[in-house]
A = this chain, B = another copy of it.
Amino acid sequence: MAKIVQKYGGSSVQDADSIKRVARRISRSRQAGNDVVVVISAMGDTTDELMDLALAVSPQPQPRELDMLLTTGERQSAALLAMALNDLGVKARSYTGSQAGVITTGRHGNARIIDITPGRIQASLELGNVTIVAGFQGVSQGTKDITTLGRGASDTTAVALAAALDAKYCEIFTDVDGVFTADPRIVPSARRIPEISYEEMMEMSACGSKVLHVRCVEYARRENIPVHVRSSFSDNPGTWVRSQEDVVKRKQMEQALITGVASDRSEAKLTVSGVPDTVGKAARIFDVVAEADINIDMIVQNISAVTTGRTDISFTLPMNDGKKAVDALNAAKDEIGFQGLLYDDQIGKVSVVGVGMRTHPGVTAKFFDALAADGVNLDMISTSEIRISVVVEVTMVDRAVAAAHTAFGLDTEGEATVYAGTGR
């Protein structure tokens, strides 16, 4: 009898009928002899509706109270799912994040899991219950206030519970069939990736793949929990995310250089021009941006022109933080002594990811050749051991993704894989 954790997202529990459908699926897992813990998101648009209500009452809702409000959505779906299961003759109980022992930091709206004390969950499993936990939430250490965990949080809750309960694996049910070699809306011939390593998945998530949040994959890697990402609308196998040792053998057999191509249109580029080329000026720019709580992704510094003693520094950052960064830098303009700011949100990032590239030095050349052959100009470049990312004009993103996908032999031969949805 295996202990497993399943997570269902909001699109899987949109209404009463879909809750009953999820209950039938869980019932099958239970009949197969598994001990099942379920982490559940709020129904469909519930969280957005609650947010609208909060904004109707207060232009800037207090974070503590917003967490109290928003967490009710998952509690509702958890209770409804338990009712539906009990109706099928499957014993079930729902628990809030707090009751389930999800202990977090006190940062409302973006708390992190510190610990899981799963005493009540274990007791409920021992009574033979399918045990349902409201996702996205916990309780702060010390102050015991209700917290929410920020983006991708229900997935992370599921993986953290799997680790705390020593579960065999964690299944993440979503509205797509798994992780694909590229976004099938861009590349219709994209294939489902049957297996991917934690490291590759982290790079994919960080570079725009929306199927799993990078924080969730990080957690799974640290705790070595296999994660199966699959569709809640079919019984097809999805994508297994697991340790490199378990995956790499198959990779080597296939001789695949690249596991997938990811793209991201959510970043913008900010160029600080005419920066005095003296010690500490560049560092001061990034201090100012960091103090504004903005994460920078890629950085390029031009070679200083000898005649002027000045240089240009460009970096990418989340588009949503664009105004904040411009304001912060302008406030420090005199101190740093730069000459101008150029903001460009008409960019996109395209990344190729794969452990195969470690042992194949020609990957960068192959990637750039493919882009050049298709007329795509590169604006910025960054690499890791298993990833190459480039920034291109936003209108060129689709073309670049397709070119890379073809160049690295990822296009499907024969029938296209079924692709059920549009990501989360």
Contact = CB atoms under 8 A, between A and B. Distances in A.
A66 B54 contact: no
B80 A54 contact: yes
Majority secondary structure of chain A interface residues (helix, strand, loop or mixed) = helix
Identical chains bound together, number: 2
A78 interface: yes
A48 to B, nearest CB: 14
A104 to B, nearest CB: 16
A47 interface: no
A80 B57 contact: yes
Contacts of A58: 83-84, 86-87
A61 interface: yes
Interface string A195-229: 00000000000000000000000000000000000
A78 to B, nearest CB: 7
A94 B145 CA distance: 10
Contacts of A80: 53-54, 57, 65, 69
Given A15-B56, A68-B82, A72-B72, 20 more contacts: A16-B57, A50-B76, A54-B80, A57-B83, A58-B86, A58-B87, A60-B87, A62-B82, A62-B83, A62-B86, A65-B79, A65-B80, A65-B82, A65-B83, A65-B86, A65-B93, A68-B79, A68-B96, A96-B146, A99-B144
A192 interface: no
Interface of A: 15-16, 19-20, 50, 53-54, 56-62, 64-66, 68-69, 72, 75-76, 78-80, 82-84, 86-87, 92-94, 96, 99, 120, 144, 146
Contacts of A62: 82-83, 86
20 contacts: A50-B76, A54-B80, A54-B83, A57-B80, A57-B83, A58-B83, A58-B84, A60-B87, A61-B83, A62-B82, A62-B86, A64-B82, A65-B80, A65-B82, A65-B83, A68-B82, A69-B76, A69-B83, A96-B146, A120-B144
